[in-house]
Amino acid sequence: MTKKKILVNAYYAKNLGDDLFLKILFDRYPQAEFYLLTADKDYLKIFQKYKNVNIIKTMNLMLGNRSVDIFSKINMNFLKFKKFDAFLNIGGSIFMESPNWKRGLVDRDLMPNIFKKNNKKIFILGANFGPFKDDFFIERHKQFFRKFDDICFRDSLSHNLFKELPNVRFAPDIVFNLDIKQYQVREKCVGFSIIDLEKRKGLNRHFNSYNQKIIQLMEEYINLGYKIKLFSFCEKEGDLKIIKHIRNLMNEKYKNDIKIIEYDKDIDYFLNQFNTCETIVGTRFHSIILALVLGQSFFPLIYSDKTYNILEDLKMEKHGCYIKDISKVKVSEVTSASLVNRLSSNNLILNASSQFEKLDEFIC
């Protein structure tokens, strides 16, 4: 049987959550050939153990404030992508309403249109929709979504916006499909996932109160006898920078009990370190998903509704705190709640493999 060749578009920024999507995809389909559209040569190293993963190097030029992919603009009509059997867009927060979203949607439409004209399959997996303010944003995307063979959202709220479309489905986040057999060991340790609020619109005014609360929490956990691990999920988005900044603000007597774990192209190392923690105080969306998958207790510091929405689907929406309210939270509330907050039923998570239902039918 001829191997299916899949062209993959994703968020290629060495962000652990998005790279986990790719890892799970490649592990699930060793019988397929995947071609990644990225200019980042580090992806050759990240997935070097996979013999079915190839890189198609892109060239990006800045036109004004926009980055334009020369590969898609120039080579599309020449290549016609005839060697590929399908196009897959796999990602999480890929449909957010930005000031230039109309221009972005025009660019995003180019690849699916080429594939449809050549009678190729097109898929979107793992996404959530929003945040958005404009109903026209929904209507334009409804037109865009109609052309796809399959779209599987990761939360029911996104699904409900487009449920009248027959090609739209819902299944829990792709990372719930992670194979965790090799990640076993636990230590008396609390893991923190921290993000940089300084340049995040709507959150930057909470920069100091968030950082100070993180420091107070770490100090309290250390006083309780725990070690601390600070996890940088994405250096490009400032995780490592803010982690080092916060650690430098702390009293010297606490610093020896703190270890920084950076995601630097080694997924297995990061996951093994993450799994050593008994409890996770997490801001990154996928720090909470991983805690749920690994059976850890957790406390979410919510920066986006996407975290609240997944917790609501799990009927755990009361477990956590929005960053905008962080100054009101008592350290004792977090430390006590984080020790008992954990997934009580995995019924919903068992449905996560349905993300790949239509892709299974196509590839297998």
179 lies in some domain: no
Together in a domain, 357 and 328: no
Range of the domain at 265: 189-338
The amino acid present at 243, given as its one-letter code, is I
Together in a domain, 21 and 60: yes
Together in a domain, 167 and 32: yes
343 lies in some domain: no
What per-residue confidence (pLDDT) applies to 233? Answer: 98
CATH number at residue 50: 3.40.50.11720
In eight-state DSSP terms, residue 315 is T
What per-residue confidence (pLDDT) applies to 1? Answer: 66
Q: What is the pTM of this model?
A: 0.93
Number of domains within the chain: 2
Highest mean pLDDT: which range of 45-54, 61-70, 71-80, 318-327: 45-54
Paired sense of beta strands 33-37 and 53-56, if any? parallel
Can you name the residues that pair with 192 across neighbouring β-strands? 230, 281
Together in a domain, 198 and 323: yes
Q: Is the pLDDT of residue 181 over 90?
A: no
Highest mean pLDDT: which range of 96-105, 113-122, 213-222, 321-330: 213-222
Together in a domain, 314 and 248: yes
Cis previous bond, 131, omega within 30: yes
What is residue 225's three-state secondary structure?
Answer: coil
Together in a domain, 200 and 283: yes
Cα 289 to the chain's mean position, in Å?
9
Together in a domain, 56 and 150: yes
Q: What span, in angstroms and rounded, lies between the C-alpha atoms of 346 and 314?
A: 9
183 lies in some domain: no
Q: What span, in angstroms and rounded, lies between the C-alpha atoms of 213 and 327?
A: 7
Together in a domain, 35 and 164: yes
Contact present, 288 and 191 (Cβ < 8 Å) = no
Together in a domain, 219 and 144: no
Contact present, 223 and 257 (Cβ < 8 Å) = no
Q: Is the pLDDT of residue 63 over 60?
A: no
Together in a domain, 262 and 323: yes
What is residue 21's three-state secondary structure?
Answer: helix
pLDDT average, residue stretch 223-246: 97
pLDDT average, residue stretch 247-257: 95
Q: What span, in angstroms and rounded, lies between the C-alpha atoms of 353 and 174?
A: 7
User: The tokens of 343 are what?
Assistant: 């997934």
Together in a domain, 91 and 18: yes
DSSP E strand stretches across 119-211: 121-127, 150-153, 168-170, 189-193
177 lies in some domain: no
CA angle, residues 323, 17, 125, in degrees to nearest 5: 110
User: The tokens of 14 are what?
Assistant: 């060495």
- pLDDT tens per residue, range 260-308: 999 999 999 999 999 999 999 999 999 999 999 998 999 999 999 999 9
Indicate the average pLDDT of the chain.
Answer: 90
CATH number at residue 273: 3.40.50.2000
